[in-house]
């Protein structure tokens, strides 16, 4: 647990239900969550079951509001998605000349020598490719979207080869958050759902 220097607010139904300049970051799992002094939470406006009062003595006087119990979270005046940002997580996007090949079965779906490689603390490197290096005729838009507190909102495609759809195998951040701007409009393939080969090395065999 540590104190965060950020002002954190939560809004539900257009009303501010949390406004704290003294939140605590508590690592209950791989990413942190916010706890707040109870006086800085409109507990009367928090839905039943969404307010957690901890038993731990070191958290006395603090409460946690379930992330999905409100409409929007803000760190300072910027929205934050999915969970609180970890101050020890870093995102670096680097230009690269690695040779990246993506295959599904015997079909080559993409090949590039100009990827951008996204390095995010605790996660495998991700290789983002220009659309011109991808067989877009094999991609079918998916309705799936996901959010990341460091990269923004991702949209997805299925890869369709020989009539078989490989669901949500490709994603793209069309308007990423500032720290990830260099991958805007590029696409990335799941090595778990395709065969991703980088400089001749199958990424499914690489120790993550």
C-alpha R_g of the chain:
21
Alpha-carbon span 91 to 110, nearest angstrom: 24
pLDDT mean across residues, the chain: 95
Contact assessment for residue 119 and residue 94, using Cβ atoms and an 8 Å cutoff: yes
| Residue bearing tokens 């890869």 | 159
For residue 204, name the pLDDT band (cuts at 50, 70, 90). Answer: confident
Q: Is residue 30's pLDDT more than 90?
A: no
> Taking residues 166-175, what's their average pLDDT?
97
Identify which of 111, 126, 18, 122 has the alpha carbon closest to the alpha carbon of residue 64: 18
pLDDT, residue 207, reads 62
- 176-193: pLDDT as tens digits: 999 899 999 999 999 999
> Taking residues 36-54, what's their average pLDDT?
95
Q: Which domains does the chain have, with CATH numbers?
A: 2-80 (no CATH), 91-201 (2.170.150.40)
β-strand 51-52 against 107-112: which pairing, if any?
A: unpaired
What tokens were used for 201?
A: 């090395």
Q: CA angle 115-117-120, nearest 5°?
A: 160
Q: Is residue 89's pLDDT more than 60?
A: yes
Q: Is residue 102's pLDDT more than 90?
A: yes
Q: Is residue 208's pLDDT more than 60?
A: no
């Amino acid at each position: 647990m540590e104190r965060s220097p950020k002002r954190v607010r939560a809004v539900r139904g257009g009303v501010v239900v949390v406004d704290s300049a003294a939140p605590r970051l508590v690592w209950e799992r791989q990413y942190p969550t916010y706890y707040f002094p109870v006086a800085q939470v409109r507990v009367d406006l928090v839905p039943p079951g969404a307010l957690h009062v901890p038993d731990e003595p070191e958290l006395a006087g603090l409460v946690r509001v379930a992330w999905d119990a409100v409409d929007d979270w803000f760190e300072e005046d910027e929205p934050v998605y999915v969970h609180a940002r970890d101050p020890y997580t870093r995102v670096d996007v680097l230009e690269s000349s690695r040779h990246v090949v993506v295959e599904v079965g015997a079909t080559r779906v993409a090949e590039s020598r100009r990827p951008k490689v996204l390095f995010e603390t605790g996660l495998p490197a991700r290789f983002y490719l220009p659309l011109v290096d991808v067989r877009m005729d094999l991609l079918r838009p998916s309705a799936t979207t996901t959010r990341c507190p460091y990269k923004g909102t991702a949209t997805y495609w299925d890869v369709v080869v020989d009539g078989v759809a490989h669901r949500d195998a490709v994603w793209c951040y069309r308007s990423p958050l500032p720290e990830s701007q260099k991958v805007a409009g590029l696409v990335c393939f799941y090595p778990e759902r395709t065969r991703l080969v980088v400089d001749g090395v199958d990424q499914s065999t690489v120790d993550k």
